[in-house]
Amino acid sequence: MNDPAPVLPSHPDVPAGDYIVSALALNGQVRAFACRTTRLCQEAQDIHQMSPVAAVALGRLMTGTLLMAEQGLKNDSDTISMIIRSNGPIQGMTVVGTGHQTVRGYCYQPVVETLHKRPGKLDIGQAVGEGTLTVIKDLGLKEPYMGKVELVSGEIAEDLTYYLASSEQTPSAVGLGVLVDANGISHAGGFMVQMLPDATEETIQYLETRLGGFPEVTYWMQEGFNPDQILDLLFGDPEIQYFSHKPLSYACTCSHERMEQNLIALGARELADLAQDPAGVNLECHFCASHYPFSQEELQNLLAELVKNRHL
């Protein structure tokens, strides 16, 4: 590159931790989102103690889910669930994002062999394998919205791009990056760019060219650029308009009551089986590893309630 290093705006109001920002660029023809998710990916890693490929795969899916939540959810109580079921060593992942900028997730097989594409480059596509991506958006309507696609590569960003194009008819580009080192997650973040309906052919061409040679998100983050600056670099548009910065976090919504609902959902027969055990059961939340012990008496009471309600 012969171009001099670009002088970027410093963005003095950018938060130090994890955050997401939305923007409008190229004469309002393109909508963009960018985020930093380093801390929340580390929090997931602290909870799940994953192998490097699993930590990166889950981090990418959590980052992509937060970008899609920001783009597609309106209310705090709305949720978007992204479920990958696949035949690679990690077998799949479940991630849930909410309308108030939180995410939670887990990998079905967190401890797997490390796979490399080449020295120093983890092979996430191979760790995920072939399978499907299911997206469920609960917007508080009668029925949740559901879409399902085959995985394109298992590298996650390409899979989300394909999902957005085929299921939601939204031409988009998604970039996701998670970098692990001996100490854990060193950098994580991503961006999502969407053409608005009035985007001209010229704008589409311009953006495709820029995206074509654009380095990975983690490259820019290692160089010290924040998500706003990554969008500055991607668009090369001095008129880009940024909206508010929102903090992001890893948060679980589990509770004793929710676990009770899960037990009831098992049905009378399975609940009766569990209620046989004098030791009761100790349920563990997949998302945050919290434990919820239920005594035999509690299980018997739940069962009695379930049977009673059934006969009402």
Cβ 97 to Zn ion, closest distance in Å? 15
Q: Cα(239)–Cα(25) distance, rounded to whole angstroms? A: 7
Per-residue contact track with Zn ion, 51 to 90, x per CB under 5 A?
A: ----------------------------------------
Q: Which span (33-41, 170-178, 270-278, 288-296) binds Zn ion, by CB under 5 A?
A: 288-296
> Considering CB under 5 A, how many residues would be counted as binding Zn ion?
6
Residue 160 or residue 285: which is nearer to Zn ion going by CB?
285
| Torsion angle, alpha carbons of 275, 277, 280, 282, to 10 | -110
User: Of 25 and 285, which CB lies nearer to Zn ion in the complex structure?
Assistant: 285
d(CA 270, CA 262): 12
Identify the H or E element spanning 150: strand 145-150
Residue pair 161/173 in contact (Cβ under 8 Å)? The answer is: yes
CB of 75 vs Zn ion, minimal distance in Å: 22
**Looking only at Cα atoms, what is the longest distance across the chain?**
78
Measured from the CB atom, the residue of 264 and 306 that comes closer to Zn ion is 264
By C-beta, is 32 or 248 nearer to Zn ion?
248
Among positions 290-309, residues that touch Zn ion (CB under 5 A) are 290
The answer to the question of residue 96 lying near Zn ion (CB under 5 A) is no
The CA-based dihedral angle spanning residues 227, 230, 231, 232, taken in that order and rounded to the nearest 10 degrees: 120
Runs of H (alpha helix) within 73-200: 124-128, 157-166
CA pair distance 38, 189, nearest whole angstrom: 7
- Cβ contacts of residue 168 below 8 Å, gap of 6+? 147
CA 165-204-216 angle, 5° bins = 75
Nearer to Zn ion by Cβ, of 166 and 262: the residue is 262
Closest approach, Cβ 272 to Zn ion, in A, equals: 26
Pattern of binders to Zn ion over 246-285, x per CB under 5 A? ------x-x------------------------------x
Rounded Cα–Cα distance for residues 298 and 280 (Å): 8
Token pair listed for 48: 């799940």
Query: Closer to Zn ion at the Cβ: 103 or 240?
Result: 103
Q: Is 288 in the site for Zn ion (CB under 5 A)?
A: yes
Does the protein bind Zn ion through residue 287 (CB under 5 A)? Answer: yes
Nearer to Zn ion, 118 or 291 (CB): 291
* Minimum distance of Zn ion from residue 258's CB (angstroms): 9
Helix (H) or strand (E) holding 261: helix 256-265
Stretch that binds Zn ion, among 65-73, 94-102, 289-297, 300-308 (CB under 5 A): 289-297
Site residues, Zn ion (CB under 5 A): 252, 254, 285, 287-288, 290
